[in-house]
Amino acid sequence: MRTCTSPRSCARPTIDSPIAGAKISGKSVTTSTVNMSEVFHAAPGVILRLLGRRPATRGAAGPFERGLEALDAGRFEAALTEFGAALESAQDPAARALTWNKRGVVLIALGRRADARAAFDSALAEVPTCAPALVNLGNLHLEAGEVGAAIASYEAAIRTDETYPLAYANLGAAYKRVGRHGDAVRALRTAMRLEIRSDARRRPLIGL
C-alpha cells in the first residue's frame, strides 16, 4: 500500500496547520489560542519551510504546481481549478491523495467546509495513511467540537508518521480540550523537539 508520509516517496502536502491551543512558529511551540481561520489559511511559505519544502516556483508547468502557486498567492478559485485538472491527470494513488488534500485546503479557504471534509475523505480513500489529510480532517472535527474524533485522527497521523510535528501540536491542543494536560504538554514538547530537529537537518542547505 502506498503511503503519504515521506517527502521522498510522495512529497507530503504541508498546508495543514496547528489548531486553536497550539501553534508552531519559527522555533517555538506556544499554547496561545489561534483563530480557526489561521489554521487553514496559514501562509504556505511558512508551513512549507517548516516541513522542508519550498513554495511552488513561479511559472510552474503542471496543474498541481500551478495550484500550489495559486494557493500561495491566495487565488483560491484558480487553485481549485488547477487541482481539479491535476486530479484528472493523476494516475498514482499517492499523487491523487496529495491533490485531494490540497483541494480540501482550498475549499476551507473558500468557506466550503462540507466539501473540504469530502475532499479529505477522498484523499484517505486513495491512501488511508495520508497523514496530512488525517490532520486536516482532525482540524475539522475539532472545530466542530468533535474532540474524540479529532484525537483519533491526529493519533492515526502519528502512527503513520512519527516525525510529523504538526500532528503532535494539534493533538496537544485536542488533549488540552478534554483536560488531559499532562498528555498535552508531552505532545507539544514532542512537536517542538521535532521542529528543532528538522531545522537542524536543513541548516546546511540554507542559501543553496
Q: Is 120 helix (H, G, I), strand (E, B) or coil?
A: helix
Is 17 among the domain residues?
yes
Is 144 among the domain residues?
yes
Q: Is 23 helix (H, G, I), strand (E, B) or coil?
A: strand
| pLDDT of res. 6 | 35
Is 185 among the domain residues?
yes
| pLDDT of res. 200 | 58
| pLDDT of res. 34 | 35
| pLDDT of res. 61 | 80
Q: Please, what is the Cα angle at 104 between 162 and 92, to 5 degrees? A: 70
Is 208 among the domain residues?
no
pLDDT digits (tens, 9 = 90+) for 56-103: 445 558 999 999 999 999 999 999 999 999 999 998 999 999 999 999
Is 2 among the domain residues?
no
- pTM (whole model) above 0.85: no
Residue pair 103/84 in contact (Cβ under 8 Å)? The answer is yes
Alpha helices (H) in the chain, listed in sequence order: 7-10, 36-41, 44-50, 63-72, 76-89, 93-109, 113-126, 131-143, 147-160, 165-177, 181-202
What's the 3-state SS for 156-199?
Answer: HHHHHCCCCHHHHHHHHHHHHHCCCHHHHHHHHHHHHHHHHHHH
CATH number of the domain enclosing 54 = 1.25.40.10
Dihedral, 125, 8, 80, 121 alpha carbons, nearest 10: 20
CA pair distance 60, 167, nearest whole angstrom:
29
Domain that holds residue 149: 7-202
DSSP state for residue 205 in the 8-state scheme: G
| pLDDT of res. 96 | 95
| pLDDT of res. 50 | 34
Is 81 among the domain residues?
yes
* Domains of the chain: total: 1
| pLDDT of res. 109 | 94
Is 123 among the domain residues?
yes
Kindly give the interhelix angle for 76-89 and 63-72, rounded to the nearest 10 degrees: 160
Residue 17 CA to its chain's centroid (Å):
6
Q: Is the dihedral angle over the CA atoms 122, 11, 44, 185 positive or is it negative?
A: positive
Give the pLDDT of the chain (208 residues) as one tens digit per residue: 445 643 333 333 334 444 544 333 222 233 333 333 333 333 333 333 333 334 444 555 899 999 999 999 999 999 999 999 999 999 899 999 999 999 999 999 999 999 999 999 999 999 999 999 999 999 999 999 999 999 999 999 999 999 999 999 999 999 999 999 999 999 999 999 998 887 656 544 334 3
| pLDDT of res. 148 | 96
Is 1 among the domain residues?
no
